[in-house]
Amino acid sequence: MTNLSTEHSPRVRDDVVRQHVPCNLCGSHDRQPYCPENGLGLVQCNHCGFVYVSPRPDAKELYALYGETYFHNNESGVVGYTDYIKDEPNIRRTAQRRLTHLEQYVSPGKLLDVGCATGFFLDEARKRGWSAEGLDVSSFGVQYAQEHFGLTTYHGSLTDLDFESASYDLVTMWDVIEHVPDPTTYVRRAAELVRSGGFISLATPDIDSLPARLAGRRWVGFKLSEEHVYYFSVKTLTKMLNEAGFEVVNVRHIGKYVPLSLFRDRLGFYFPWLAKALEVGEKALGLSEWALYINPYDIVQITAWKR
Ligand SMILES: [Zn+2]
């Protein structure tokens, strides 16, 4: 979860080895610094425009970020989520909204959620009639989903696990593709698993969105240093999907449900008196459990159909 209220302060680990990597989308080594003021080591490919981190830690170091502390972390501006478990009701409401959208394109069938975390999305999908399975590099998330909801979840990355080819009606990747070391291989692997006529749907921060361009180096999408190694636009993600055999059917910017208290904290940064008044009102009216759907218009969801 990002935090609008603090000055952007990337923290890059200085104890890991970093290596230059070619553009994951087109293979070019021709690049130039991108937004160097933010200190994240971003470059932009001069050939296709893809923005990525280079040099950077290897895949093992990148995956090492996603242990149990990732889902319980009091420094969410650094890595992971303040308290993912506590946010369960809002994650579930957000999941319902996304499923309602997707079911316009594909009826409940076999679903694979890549980066399923603790399984809240999968559990909501199952309630709607989906045969839902997931995987995650976090063993904590995978175990939580099994123990609390009896879900079928696998520990590992999409490219390391065995799944039946052409057997899924839908593959979802929520806030995943910007984290993985080799997104092109991920999308191609998803294309193998989705049946002909099936769908993939991904959500990721949109570096070309108006909020991102207006905020410049202060864009909240830049906050999670080390975790995000790729920064997509509609153009670069569409190119990656097309080359894997997908045809884009829908592009939209999406939000999520956040607790009223989080909204109040962020408001307090700009209007402390208003936040204080809201807090008093919340307590008086018993609204502490309320949530708001907030769409910052800088997270893009792209849904594509397998040719
Ligand atoms: Zn490129």
Confidence category of residue 202, pLDDT binned at 50, 70, 90 = very high
- Name the region of 236 (left: φ>0; alpha: ψ -120 to 50; beta: rest): alpha
Sheet holding 194-205, edge to edge: 152-155, 131-136, 110-114, 168-174, 194-205, 299-306, 246-253
Query: Total domain count for the chain?
Result: 2
Query: Distance, CA 41 to ligand 1 centroid (Å)?
Result: 16
CA distance 86 to 69: 14
Comparison of pLDDT for 279 and 21, the residue scoring more: 21
Same domain assignment for residues 266 and 218: no
Sign of CA dihedral 132, 133, 136, 138: positive
Evaluate if residue 75 carries a pLDDT over 60: no
Evaluate if residue 195 carries a pLDDT over 60: yes
Evaluate if residue 79 carries a pLDDT over 50: no
Q: Is residue 84 part of a domain?
A: yes
Q: Kindly calculate the radius of gyration of the chain based on its CA atoms and give it in whole angstroms.
A: 19
State the residue for tokens 């369960």. 88
Q: Residue 139 in 3-state DSSP?
A: helix
Q: What distance lies between CA 148 and its chain's CA centroid?
A: 23
Nearest to 174 by CA among 122, 127, 233: 122
Same domain assignment for residues 215 and 282: no
Per-residue pLDDT, 4 = 33
Query: Distance, CA 88 to ligand 1 centroid (Å)?
Result: 38
Do 160 and 189 touch, CB atoms closer than 8 A?
no
Same domain assignment for residues 186 and 134: yes
Comparison of pLDDT for 62 and 242, the residue scoring more: 242
Per-residue pLDDT, 260 = 81
Same domain assignment for residues 80 and 185: yes
Evaluate if residue 281 carries a pLDDT over 70: yes
Mean pLDDT in residue range 254-276: 84
Q: Is residue 30 part of a domain?
A: no
Query: Distance, CA 24 to ligand 1 centroid (Å)?
Result: 7
Nearest to 295 by CA among 201, 210, 238, 235: 210
This prediction has a pTM of 0.87
Domain that holds residue 283: 258-291
Same domain assignment for residues 89 and 224: yes
Q: Is residue 139 part of a domain?
A: yes
State the residue for tokens 């909240």. 220
Confidence category of residue 72, pLDDT binned at 50, 70, 90 = low
Q: Is residue 243 part of a domain?
A: yes
Q: How many CB atoms lie within 10 A of CB 100?
A: 10
CA distance 155 to 2: 26
How far apart, in Å, do the first and last CA atoms of the chain sit?
35
Confidence category of residue 61, pLDDT binned at 50, 70, 90 = confident
Average pLDDT, the chain: 88
Query: Distance, CA 149 to ligand 1 centroid (Å)?
Result: 41
Per-residue pLDDT, 218 = 87
Q: Is residue 98 part of a domain?
A: yes
Same domain assignment for residues 200 and 236: yes
CA distance 23 to 84: 32
Comparison of pLDDT for 76 and 94, the residue scoring more: 94
Same domain assignment for residues 95 and 136: yes
Query: Distance, CA 278 to ligand 1 centroid (Å)?
Result: 47
Domain with residue 160: its CATH number is: 3.40.50.150
Query: Distance, CA 29 to ligand 1 centroid (Å)?
Result: 8
Mean pLDDT in residue range 225-250: 94
Same domain assignment for residues 94 and 219: yes
Per-residue pLDDT, 71 = 67
Nearest to 101 by CA among 16, 201, 195: 201
Same domain assignment for residues 235 and 263: no
Q: Is residue 72 part of a domain?
A: yes
Query: Distance, CA 53 to ligand 1 centroid (Å)?
Result: 13
Q: Is residue 155 part of a domain?
A: yes
Per-residue pLDDT, 83 = 73
Confidence category of residue 131, pLDDT binned at 50, 70, 90 = very high
Evaluate if residue 81 carries a pLDDT over 60: no
Same domain assignment for residues 140 and 281: no
Q: What is the DSSP letter of 291?
A: E
Same domain assignment for residues 286 and 250: no
Query: Distance, CA 22 to ligand 1 centroid (Å)?
Result: 8
pLDDT, one tens digit per residue, over 161-186 is: 999 999 999 999 999 999 999 999 99
Q: Is residue 205 part of a domain?
A: yes
CA distance 206 to 73: 25
Half-sphere exposure of 305 (CA within 13 A, CB side): 8
Query: Distance, CA 44 to ligand 1 centroid (Å)?
Result: 8
Same domain assignment for residues 239 and 272: no
